[in-house]
Amino acid sequence: MKTLLKIALFLLLPFIAKAQQSKLDSLRNILQTATTDSARHNASYNLYLYFIEANRDSALFYVEQRLTLAKKK
């Protein structure tokens, strides 16, 4: 049973990784094309949440960008 589970996870891993990359691309696209500060603010926050565990430098970049947008108002 453990072997079957390992095989299933191994086969599903590329699909999970692709879905995460699609989410990242979508958030970055929203950030670049947003016409309102609120949309940019929300996209920056979601990118921060995406990166907080794996890549703290990127998370810090997006939270600083969010802070800059908040000060602008």
- Compute the distance between CA of residue 72 and CA of residue 27 in angstroms, rounded to an integer: 21
- Mean of the pLDDT values across residues 49-73? 86
* pTM, to two decimals: 0.65
Q: What is the mean pLDDT of the chain?
A: 80
What would the pLDDT profile of 30-57 be if each residue is shown by its tens digit?
888 988 888 888 898 888 888 888 888 8
Q: Is the pLDDT of residue 19 over 60?
A: no
The amino acid at 50: Y
Q: Where are the domains of the chain?
A: 21-72
Q: Which residue in 54, 4, 3 sits closest to 24, CA to CA?
A: 54
Residue 14: pLDDT band with limits 50, 70, 90:
low
